[in-house]
Amino acid sequence: MMERWKGRVALVTGASVGIGAAVARALVQHGMKVVGCARNVDKIEKLAAECQSAGYSGTLIPYKCDLCNEEEILSMFSAIKTLHQGVDVCINNAGLAHNEPLLSGRTEGWRNMIDVNILALAICTREAYQSMKERHVDDGHIININSMGGHRMVPSADEHFYCATKYAVTAMTEGLRQELREAKTHIRATSISPGIVETEFAFRHHNSDPERAAAVYESIKCLKAEDIASAITYVLSAPAHVQLFGLSF
């Protein structure tokens, strides 16, 4: 069922490493044109070259974008419209966490989490939907990479604000589903909520304590970024009449 996505356009945010890079690679393998965005595109450019060398039928287009800046997001969507007509699949993958407890955290860290985890996701969702609507695309898909932290509060002060932003993603995905239904469109919305995935996430989260970051991944058998990519291709492969709204694992 991924055949129907060949030659169509997917936007993957936070595509330079981890889940985003794995998702971008998987969609290119299935023949999609993938716009992979990040603040630094060096790694995406390297991945694009690897995909080309591997002979994948799709293409990966790196795009430099700071998701904390709405103007840069809007410019990205404008460029996608000019060069590739528009977005058919939007994978809101970018996300981050800072060690900023509720009782002692810095406002700067809280604001950065809100900007990336909530506002950027909302802006990309809105712009992707408008792109689909103006082109009469009725089978598009918006997929939010959520977290198990968006369904239950982790018993660690360092994670509480992050979890709050992911609870927001849970609420926004349900709100999106309702608004899409009210709009009488067949565009689908899905929230994917993994547990611990072995990526660079913990090392960025605990950037001042690499031993603590490593311990996160050593404590249990973790998911791999490729597991999340497989979940996304599964969701995209579902028949048009099937709504896979929430996956948690």
**Residue count of the chain:** 249
- What are 180-188's contacts with CB under 8 Å, separation 24+? 180/129, 185/133, 185/138, 186/138, 186/139, 186/240, 187/129, 187/132, 187/137, 187/138, 187/139, 187/140, 187/141, 187/142, 188/140, 188/141, 188/142, 188/243, 188/244
201: tokens are 């996430």
- Among 56, 63, 162, 234, the active-site one is 162
Which candidate, 153, 161, 23, 152, places its Cα nearest to that of 92? 23
Residue type, 207: N
Q: Is 135 exposed, middle or buried (0-12, 13-18, 19+ CB in 10 A)?
A: middle
- Does the active-site annotation cover 234? no
Q: Provide the annotated active-site residues.
A: 162
